Structure 1
Amino acid sequence: MRWRSVKQGKIDKSQTETKQKDYSPAPISDRLKAFLTDTFMITMPIMYIVIYLVMGSREGFREHMAAGWLYIIIPHYLIVTFLWTIKGETPGMRAYDMKIIRWNSLENPNFFQSTIRYIAMPFSILSIVGVVIAFFRKDKATFHDLISLTRMIHVPKK
C-alpha cells in the first residue's frame, strides 16, 4: 500500500517510523539518578513541612506516624502524577533528558496511567524482580512500565 504525502492529508509512513525510532529507552542508571533527584526536590520539602510545620516536631511525627505518612504520600502522589500527566516528566527526569510516554504513542500518560504507575512503582522496587526485568528487556521496561502501559524514553536535547 502506498502512502500519500502529508500535503494530501495522510501521514507519511516513513516520517512516523523515524519519529518513533528517534527516541531510545532511558538508561537505567539515569532513571536511578532522576529518582534520587526527585526524592530531594519533591519528597524532602514535603517531609520537612509535615514533620516540623504540621506535626510540630519529630516527636509529634513519631507519635502520629500513620497520619504523618499520609500527609506526605498524598501531596507527593498529587504532585508526581500531575507532572507525569501534564508534562510527562518530573524535575529529575528533566535533568537527565527523560520523559514518560504512553506505550504506543509519544503522548503524555493520562491520569489513570500515571496513578497505576505511581501505585505499582513501590511494588516493583521492593520486589526487586520488577526492576531487574529491565536489564533483560530490549525496551528497558520495568514492571510498573508494563502495568501502566507507559515507557520512559531518552529525549535528545534540542
Structure 2
Amino acid sequence: MRFRDLKKQKKNQQNKQEKKQLLYAKYSDKVKALIVDMFMIYAPILYFIAYVVMGSKEEFQASQLAPFIAVSIYGVIYAILIAKFGQTPGKKAYLIKVVDDKTQKNISFFRAVCRFIMFLFSATILLGLLTPFYRKDRKALHDIVCGTIEIEVKQ
C-alpha cells in the first residue's frame, strides 16, 4: 500500500471514532423538550399579547398579525438561546444541545434563525419531522439544511 492510502485510511478511522463518540439526541427527548419550550417561552408570549396588548382572546383570534408577532418573538428568543448557550430551557432539561455538525461548537444567531424558520417549514409539511426515523444521525430536515445536529450532553 502506498503511504498516501495508509494516511487516508487512518484519517477515516479517526473520523469514525469521533463520530461514534457523539451521542445523538433521542427523538422522544426532542419532542419533550419542544413541549417544555412551548409552555415556558411561547405560552407566556401568547398570554401577554392576547390579554395585555390585545385586551382579550377574541381580539387575538380575530387578528392575523398577532399570531405572527408571537411566533416571531418566540423565534428570536429561541435563536438567541441556541446561539448563546446551544440550549433552550426544554433542551437543557433533557440534556440536549444544538451544535454545528462538523465542529460541535455553538451556531451563530443567524444560523439559529434559519434553523427555526426551517423547523416551521418542516413541521408544516411533516416530512421534515419524519426524517430522523430514517437516518442514523437522527437529523431532521432543518438540521440537514442548516448543518446542525442535536446531541446529548453529559452533565
Alignment TM class, shorter chain as reference: 0.7 to 0.9
Name 2:10's counterpart in structure 1.
none
Is 2:141 the counterpart of 1:143? yes
Matched residue count:
144
Is the 2:76–2:113 Cα contact (8 Å) retained in structure 1? no
Q: What do the CA deviations read for 1:72-129 (whole angstroms, capped 9, x no partner)?
A: 1221111000001000010000000000001101211112211111001022122221
Secondary structure of residue in 2 paired with 1:99: strand
Please list every run of 5 or more consecutive structure 2 residues that lacks an aligned counterpart in the other structure. 4-12
Name 2:83's counterpart in structure 1.
85
Paired AA for residue 43 in structure 2: M
Q: State the percentage of identical aligned residues.
A: 33
State the Cα distance separating 1:134 from its structure 2 match. Answer: 0.7
Q: Aligned equivalents of 1:109 and 1:78: distance in 2?
A: 14
Name 1:55's counterpart in structure 2.
54
Q: Aligned equivalents of 1:135 and 1:15: distance in 2?
A: 26
Secondary structure of residue in 2 paired with 1:83: helix
Superposed CA RMSD: 2.0
Q: Aligned equivalents of 2:122 and 2:69: distance in 1?
A: 23
Name 1:108's counterpart in structure 2.
106
Q: Which residue, out of 67, 70, 73, partners 1:69?
A: 67
Matches within 5 A, 1:2-81: 21-63=20-62, 65-81=63-79
Secondary structure of residue in 2 paired with 1:100: strand
Is 2:148 the counterpart of 1:153? no
Please list every run of 5 or more consecutive structure 1 residues that lacks an aligned counterpart in the other structure. 2-13
Q: Aligned equivalents of 1:123 and 1:69: distance in 2?
A: 16
Q: Aligned equivalents of 2:131 and 2:28: distance in 1?
A: 14
Q: Aligned equivalents of 1:110 and 1:78: distance in 2?
A: 12
Q: Aligned equivalents of 1:23 and 1:54: distance in 2?
A: 45
* TM-score (structure 2 length as normaliser): 0.85
Q: Aligned equivalents of 2:137 and 2:15: distance in 1?
A: 19
Q: Aligned equivalents of 2:22 and 2:28: distance in 1?
A: 17
Where is the helix percentage greater, Structure 1 or Structure 2?
2
